[in-house]
Structure 1
Amino acid sequence: MKASIWHNSRCSKSRQALAILTEMPGVEVEVFDYLKTPPTRPEIEAVLARAGLRPSEAVRKGEAVVKDIGLDTSDDAAVLDAMARHPILIERPIVITDKGAVIARPPEKARDVL
């Protein structure tokens, strides 16, 4: 099985989710450093749809950039635009497989799509 993870190596939850994935037998993991290579707005929208989440449910509301840009976190279109411009706003980690996508918080949720 192939699994992709939108990963931030500075995040302990992301590191824990990656460890869960790499320890699972038969799982081939692709690590996507979304801060270095940001996903496009359509890619973000597609992954969130696959996870059954609205953008407002997957935005890191505590990030300083939310306040800096005056983001209305209840406006899904504005949140998607902001996530594309400021990928730090994307909740992490996100694990994607053929079975779906999930925000792996807690990290054990990564198993939900394996």
Structure 2
Amino acid sequence: MSDVTIYHNPSCGTSRNTLALLREKGVEPTVVEYLKEGWTKDQLKDLLRKMEASAHDILRVRGTNAEELGLTHPQASDDHLIAAMIVEPILVNRPIVVTPKGAALCRPAELVLGLL
């Protein structure tokens, strides 16, 4: 399976474990270090569509300023969250893995096995 992408943060243990698990299963994914590369609106919307999720589902709160920005409020719209995620990529939880079978936030890392 070569059509696998992991949106990865090498500083995150779960992200490193997910990448290691993919490689253990013989998959060499495309690794996107999203903190360096950033996000686009279309990219995030496409990921959310594939995940059948909302921006709230991938919002990282711990270790971010999400609460101060009002992003944790249930009324915060996906468009508002996506705009903030573009400005501050750390607001996206990780790792997100995309395969031909779908996409998921792989927390815990073993969730990636359902995508293989």
Q: Is TM-score (shorter-chain normalized) higher than 0.5?
A: yes
TM-score normalised to structure 1 length = 0.91
Deviation at 1:89, TM superposition (A): 0.5
Q: Letter of the aligned partner of 1:6 in structure 2?
A: Y
Deviation at 1:91, TM superposition (A): 0.8
C-alpha RMSD of matched pairs (Å): 1.4
Corresponding residue for residue 53 of structure 1: 53
Q: Distance in 2 between matches of 1:43 and 1:63?
A: 23
Deviation at 1:103, TM superposition (A): 0.5
Q: Distance in 2 between matches of 1:73 and 1:94?
A: 23
Q: Is the 8 A contact 2:64 2:91 kept in 1?
A: no
**Unpaired runs of 5+ in structure 1?**
none
Q: Letter of the aligned partner of 1:96 in structure 2?
A: V
Corresponding residue for residue 100 of structure 1: 102
Q: Letter of the aligned partner of 1:50 in structure 2?
A: K
TM-score normalised to structure 2 length = 0.89
Aligned identity (percent) is 35
Q: Is the 8 A contact 2:51 2:103 kept in 1?
A: yes
Corresponding residue for residue 12 of structure 1: 13
**Unpaired runs of 5+ in structure 2?**
none
Corresponding residue for residue 67 of structure 1: 67
Tell me how many residue pairs correspond in the alignment.
113
Deviation by residue 1:28-87 (Cα, 9 ceiling, x = unmatched): 311100000012111011011101111011101234321343335432111111111111
Corresponding residue for residue 88 of structure 1: 90
